[in-house]
Amino acid sequence: MAVIAIDQTLPQAAGASRIGAHAERLAQTFRARLHKRPVQTAALGLAVALLGAALAYHSSPPQAFVLLLGASVILNATRAIPEIASYLGLATAWVLFGIATPEQAVAGYGGTNWMTAVAMVALAQAVASSGLLLRCGLWFVQRLPRSVLAQGATFMLGGLALIPLLPGSTQRGQFSMMFALAAAQAQRLKERGPAAAFIAMATFIGSNPMLFFFLGGNTTCLLIYGFLPEATRAQIGVGEWLVASVPLAAFVGVASLAAMWLYLRPERNAPPLDSRKVSQQLAELGRPKGRELKTAAILALTILGWTFGPALGVDKLVVSLVMLMASILLGCFGDTELQSLPWDFLILYGIVLDIDKITTRLGITQAAGAALVAATGHLHLAPIVFLLAVAVLNVLVRLVLPVIPALMLLGLGLIPLAPVMGLSPFLVGLALLATTTVWFLPTTSYTFRLAAQAAEGQLFTNRQAQVTSVIHTAITLLGLAVCTPYWRWLGLM
């Protein structure tokens, strides 16, 4: 019997040995990661501490909510855990801590704003995958004016046109810089010379830092839109957003071109364009294909619907869903495009849409407003002073945090306080968007790093880019002040 008992324990012992060895390997891997990722490890520890503090305040939902939100922002900013996990973990914690019911925690996913966002980015994805943008970009390069100043303005406007068509900033920056490089090579511009740098910086500013001008297709703008109070979202649609932001975009664009011209001092005219390579690429594409033509028609109808639909009583959600259905039926949007949607952002967006309702229900917004009045009441701050302070604070925070965590931190903290300071919450969101793209340092903008890679080191130097970033930031702050009378006329101040 003893022998039999021993024989039966041998497989168990062997299995236990294997499990122990596997556990040891996992432990070694975990320790190695902790050693290699000290920032993420510290962030994870801080998030756990905040979670523990929230547990201690479980009987006080407002304090627990703030602590949980802080833990989520820290985890997201440092990438200590996958982004989607931090978003879903936040909604789960709301339910577990009794801050929201399961229905309240996911209510944003069933709302019109979330469905509109899905339809918008889906239509943009259909445009991006159709080949239409490549053809338009080549045609664009082939017809450039000789004047370098005019080329800079043209590329800036081209970058602006891409904003509603390509919702991803990194994709937009790479795509636009690719055509700036093609133009510089076709004209045999001096590598990293004044003309090449002028065109490249104008291209980047148009396609990314000026993303604030149009709500319809940019995920960052949609995120800020989600932070706005529900009453403000009801008043601000695609058309209203455009009307309010165009003067700031015009001022920043024109002033940036003028300042870069004075700083870089490029030659007045570029050498004659050698368009043989571009013409060859267009010839390889052939005549516009059916999908491109159908996508162009859907895009035009969508923009017209977003702009004029509300005046005719047609909601932007109806326009978006009808056009998305048309793109599916016409073969412009399929399974591949569906899988390519930015689902991490869309999951975050659904949760963001719930935050305003939760903070209002918990009294957090009212308490923060009262605290701000108590702290600044004796100072009698003018609305524009508060707006500029928001913009400067955003620039400083962006030197430390990536775009999404910075906007979450400041958007959730400052946008609800706007009415207390005599501002529409929309203007605070606009100021955050206008100053969110800074590239003083290589680490401050992942979008710029990818755009610089697309330039292949041939268009600008690091110093040219850094000085341009400083110039653009200063002009944006000035633009916020200059546009004050216009916004007051619109009733936003």
Res. 135: pLDDT tops 90: no
Q: Exposed/middle/buried for 310, CB within 10 Å: 0-12, 13-18, 19+? A: middle
- Which of these ranges, 94-103, 135-144, 395-404, has the smallest mean pLDDT? 135-144
Q: Which of 208-217, 297-306, 467-476: highest mean pLDDT?
A: 467-476
Reported confidence tier of residue 382, pLDDT bands at 50, 70, 90: confident
Is residue 38 very low, low, confident or very high in pLDDT (cuts 50, 70, 90)? confident
pLDDT digits (tens, 9 = 90+) for 405-441: 888 888 888 888 888 888 999 999 999 999 998 898 7
Identify the pLDDT of residue 23: 47
Tens of pLDDT along 325-347? 888 888 888 888 788 888 888 88
Q: How far apart are CA 362 and CA 66, in angstroms?
A: 11
Contacts of 78 (CB under 8 A, 6+ apart): 39, 40, 43
The predicted structure's pLDDT at residue 456: 85
pLDDT at 485: 94
The partner residues of 147 in beta bridges, in order of sequence, read 269
pLDDT band at 15 (very low <50, low <70, confident <90, very high): very low
pLDDT tens, residue by residue, 231-268: 888 888 878 898 999 999 999 999 999 999 999 999 88
Using one digit for the tens of pLDDT, what is the confidence trace for 50-70?
888 888 887 888 888 888 888
Q: Is the per-residue pLDDT at 221 higher than 60? A: yes
In this prediction, residue 372 carries a pLDDT of 65
Query: What is the per-residue pLDDT for 234?
Result: 83
Comparing 175-184, 214-223, 380-389, 462-471, which segment has the lowest mean pLDDT?
214-223
Q: Is the pLDDT of residue 8 over 50?
A: no
pLDDT at 250: 95
**Percentage of residues of the chain with pLDDT beyond 90:** 20
pLDDT at 34: 44
Q: What is the pLDDT of residue 389?
A: 92
pLDDT at residue 167, as a whole number = 67
Q: Which of 14-28, 245-259, 358-372 has the highest mean pLDDT?
A: 245-259
Q: Which is more confident, 203 or 84? A: 203
| Summary mean pLDDT of the chain | 81
pLDDT given at position 31:
47
Residue 376: pLDDT band by 50, 70, 90 thresholds?
Answer: low
- Each residue of 458-478: pLDDT tens digit? 899 999 999 999 999 999 999
The more confident residue out of 181 and 479 is 479
- In this prediction, residues 192-212 reach a mean pLDDT of 92
Contact 476, 434 (CB under 8 A): yes
> Residue 27: is its pLDDT beyond 90?
no
Of 117 and 281, more confident: 117
In contact, 210 and 436? CB cutoff 8 Å: no
Q: Tell whether the model's pLDDT for residue 11 goes beyond 60.
A: no
Is the model's pLDDT at 20 over the cut of 60? no
